[in-house]
Amino acid sequence: MSRYLLCGVATAYFLSLNAANAASFRVETHARGYKVFSTYEKPEECEVNLHFTFTRDGKRDKGESLCTFKPVPQGKDVQFCEFSHERLVDPVISEPLKPTCKPLK
């Protein structure tokens, strides 16, 4: 039993350590799309999954987009990715951003 507890504590420590070192992301929407910005002190490779709603034929529809794995540059509020399309009208982010990151080798 104590072996499982120790393993759980080690896993929780690793996850919290990993989360503490991860880049942070924010998104800005505009009339026909969005821009994702990153902040981090050292480069790593990330992808960001976005869930949003938008207007189509007078009603709200759901959408999802993925900013694929690429290096996150050093700095604060650096543009990470963007997307726009004429059919993407009035996008609204519907869920928190879901980044997945790994250290650059």
pTM value > 0.85: no
What number of other Cβ atoms are within 10 A of residue 65's Cβ? Answer: 16
Q: Among positive and negative, which fits the CA dihedral 89, 91, 94, 99?
A: positive
Give residue 21's pLDDT band: very low, low, confident or very high (50, 70, 90): low
Q: What is the mean pLDDT of the chain?
A: 81
Average pLDDT over residues 19-32: 82
Please count the CA atoms within 13 angstroms of the CA of 99 that sit on its side-chain side.
23
What number of other Cβ atoms are within 10 A of residue 36's Cβ? Answer: 20
Per-domain residue ranges for the chain? 2-103
Could you confirm whether domain 2-103 is CATH 2.60.40? yes
77 in Cβ contact with 24 (< 8 Å): no
